Amino acid sequence: MKVLKETNYHFQHQKKMYRGKVRDVYFIGDEHLAMVASDRISAFDHVLPKGIPFKGQVLNQLAARFLDATKDIVPNWLVAIPDPNVSVGFKCEPIMVEMVIRGYLSGHAWREYKSGKRVICGVVMPYGMRESDPFPEPIITPATKAVEGHDEDISREDIIAQRIVEQSIYEKLEDYTRQLFQRGTEIADKQGLILVDTKYEFGISKDGKIFLIDEIHTPDSSRYFYKEGFEDRQNRGEAQKQLSKEFVRQWLISEDFQGLEGQEMPAMPDELVDSVSERYIELYELITGDKFVKADTEHIQTRVESNLGLWVQENI
């Protein structure tokens, strides 16, 4: 299967192009940008060497569905989906804080907790918790958005004190974050899943409004548990069955890689690549209740270029 590792297009009205960890972003005209969701996969802030078939399509189409399902809570940047791997939207000034919200003790928060810490981002975590236990209520644990390298945990108080975000805006971000997480939780619950944790990114539009930007509720930005059997697994002290990138991180940890200086990225076996692809598709089908329709990837580079180029020609 062909994968979309990276693009290097030149469109009419294109101002510049930026390559992120998993997306190639094209700035079109004065008001729009196009995000091409590649099949790259990252963990511990490093891009793994092999692409994952259909990963970009899954992320792009899932994000579009969730943006549409939450636009009554907060306006978002999305304008069009000209290709299964492409979203076009309004250009916004990014707010340099990721709004991370956690309903359960898992992932990064669990690793911090297991090391003995009981405060994360200024939020006190209860004593006596086990991995995957629910918090009494969801906690917000923000992170600074790094252009390069690792995002860093930061407290609400430090965000405001350092004037990274004005207090009035930050309070709105917290309110939006809780509402979005509640909506995502309700959607997941109907499909037999638990939305464990996720992150949201926001920007300011040219007329000064807060917009939800980037992707939401995808396996790259979120963690899901299977609801069926959750309580039994917790009672037995077993690991939860989950759909997220966490199993990729765990594989890397088992290969002695956590993105630290001097560590060498391990080679991904083909079986792992196939397994990751299957999990992304499984999550799409579980969370949407729809069959995932694989786009033709035989000429994926020219397909994406043609579809996005046509949209630009007709709309800019």
Q: Name every residue whose Cβ is closer than 8 Å to that of residue 128 and which is 6 or more positions away in sequence.
A: none
pLDDT confidence bin for 149, thresholds 50/70/90: low
Backbone angles phi, psi at 27, to 5 degrees: -90, 115
pLDDT of residue 246: 74
**CA-to-CA separations, 111 to 105, 223, 231, 254, 273, in angstroms, rounded:** 9, 15, 21, 15, 25
Q: Residue 145 pLDDT more than 80?
A: no
pLDDT of residue 150: 60
pLDDT of residue 98: 96
Q: Residue 147 pLDDT more than 80?
A: no
Burial of 186 per CB tally in 10 Å (0-12, 13-18, 19+): exposed
The whole-angstrom separation of Cα 197 and Cα 207 is 31
Q: Where are the chain's structural domains?
A: 95-243
pLDDT confidence bin for 156, thresholds 50/70/90: very high
Contacts 24+ apart (CB under 8 A), 126-129: 129/105
- Correct CATH for 95-243 of 3.40.190.10, 1.10.540.10, 1.10.3720.10, 3.30.470.20: 3.30.470.20
State pLDDT tens for residues 70-105.
Answer: 999 999 999 999 999 999 999 999 999 999 999 999
Quick one: which of 87, 106, 114 has its CA closest to 239? 106
pLDDT confidence bin for 114, thresholds 50/70/90: very high
Q: What percent of the chain has pLDDT over 70?
A: 98
